[in-house]
Structure 1
Amino acid sequence: MSVVPTRLLQSGRRPLSPGSRAGLGAALVLLAIVSAVEVADGREVHYVALLAAAPVLAAALASWLVVLGVGVAATLVSVGFALVAPKVSLDTSVNVVAVALVTALAVAVAWVRQRQAERIVELTKLASVAQQAVLRPLGPQVGTLSVAGRYISSTATAEIGGDLYEAIDTPYGVRMIIGDVRGKGLDAVRLASIVLGSYRHVAYERADLRAVVADLDRAVARNVGDEDFVTAALVEERGGTLTIVNCGHPPPLLLRRGAVIPLEPPAPAPPLGFMPVVRPRVERLEPGDRLLLFTDGLGEARRDGEFFPTADRAWRLLGHGTVADGLASLETALVEWVHGRLDDDIALVLMEYVGARTSAAVAVPSWEVGAAES
């Protein structure tokens, strides 16, 4: 007696989702069980009311069209049992009507749940697009450097936050920035986009990293409150010379011949937004050197009160394969360490110095091409 409208269940356009298939399967099993029990009990109708559970069960997982199909099937089955019964009692009539009413309610619940699920999917896609606009993919080659970037979100429903990074080839060498905006949410994303937008402009304009810091500090100060700030580390590689300025950010780690060296600044400086006065640290690079830039989410990752041993594991995780392979290994080890639960987002940039330039050509911003030719 179980008749399920195929057109309603499959909608004639696209295959059922895994959730709809699971909900449909469970509902059909329930319909079959109740029908079998009712048939075995004889011609008297006693269990028709239980058929209302089928659309309710489907509503937990399936789309509203599937729930409607299951509900129609349950209603038709209940009507069939009522028609073959020797006498249609008032209770039987009430139960048949109840199955139809519960079907309508289940369809409404499934429709609301489906709309909410579709909205979450849409917001997730928008977040992914926003992340790609704010945090553009890095590498695999920027000037003399092999570069890879990675963003690890602390929540499964959010793919973007206040951590930022960028690497660009400028007339003054390859320049990179990594930063962390105080706070979370849309305000942090907005400020991160402001910092990156400013950096992508002034990194081409200023010959000295200290001037870049001053410009970024003004951009942050114009757009934040008294207690907001952005920690940042800026790195420049020019002709094999590495220059680092640090504004309240965790120091980068230099990986060289099996050793891991924290590149602490010569003097501490406050974050962007607090008028930092920075002193550069200068290192001479060797081919094969790698540099890890990271935000404080990596330093704060812990399990049972024990912090992730970044410096102790850095060479084993990051010193082999490509730079993208290294970041993938670091993320895997980190997620295993914290059992999949991070307290903060993490931005990672790993670069490898591959040697001096073979060409004297340097990158010139598109808006300067005409001026250079004239």
Structure 2
Amino acid sequence: MPRKVQKKTAFRHYSGEEKEFLAKWHEEGKTPTEIAELLGRDLSSVFRHVKAMSSKKKAKPVGRPPSLSSKEVDRIVSKAKDLIKVADSKYQVTASMIRTGARLTCCVRTVLDALHSRGLYLHPMREKPVRTEEDEQCRLEFATTYGAKPLSFWAKTVDAYLDNKWFPVYLNARGRAYAAKRTARGSFRSPGDGLAKGHVKPRKNLKVNFGKSVMISAAISGSKVLVWHKVEGQWDAVNASLMYGKLLAPALRKAKPNLKRKFLVLEDNDPSGYKSKLAIATKLEHKINVLELPRRSPDLNPLDYGFWAELNKRMRKQELTFRDTKKETRDEYIERLRQTATRMPAKFCKALVCSLKRRCVDLRAAEGRDFQE
């Protein structure tokens, strides 16, 4: 007589949902028997899961315990900020000074690690104009007066933004390579690779002789470049008067024919040109009014804080495609500079001048001092 074979029930693992319910009911104080009935599971399997959860212990930390507590790190960060304010850029605050000020006995490396853990690293100081209290008060008044102006004021009511700039002239591969390297901000490297090829760029104050620089007098609006003029000789009252009367006034009338009889331009406090008697007389003759920037405020002139940098960036990008044997004459370089500037997109110009509203708001919040641009 054949023997009867008993069928075994297939084993089924606990689902994630079942484990969640098991843990929840265990925390609520239910017994394994009650949990087994609720889950429809065998008591022995429920008991094993409950035992495993109860026996779990917190993993012990591996390695050396941290040498500084969270409060001590807070004290290091606070002391660093206090010392930097006291130093006021007159000397460099070191990790050793911070350790002494925080009254800690750990090594300097530990102090540096604590600063790094809070995102504080040693960076080059940012270069800003040195201003007096009077300068800061003038900046605050400017921000208070114009911070509430709508975007249309900067894009349409202000007809032009003026500035001058010296441009170095790079005519060959060596000059172009120098210009490109000066724009590099940094590189990823190990401490020992700092002097290797690809990690070094020319010093900012290095004197080079690639070609005589050219001064450009420019005016932009909220949509395009209105004036792009190569200044012959030195920038003075005669050249400023020429720029206003022969170049800017006709460009403004052409840009807005029959719409305006008077114009408003933003310019800085240049005494040799913009504020000379001859230039002022020329502006009055052509009904050009002035929105004068506070002294030492390049962060409020769209050409200074954005246009020149974008122009240089586009020039360097063009030069990446040049052959090493390519040479330009001085006139060719200046013409390429002009074409690059006058082809700047209208969208870019508008965004650039409209950012003055946000800058005035930030300047007011900073009470006339430097703000995060």
Higher relative contact order (CA 8 A, sep 6+): 2
Q: TM-score, normalised by structure 2?
A: 0.25
The structure with the greater share of residues assigned to strand is 1
Larger radius of gyration: 2
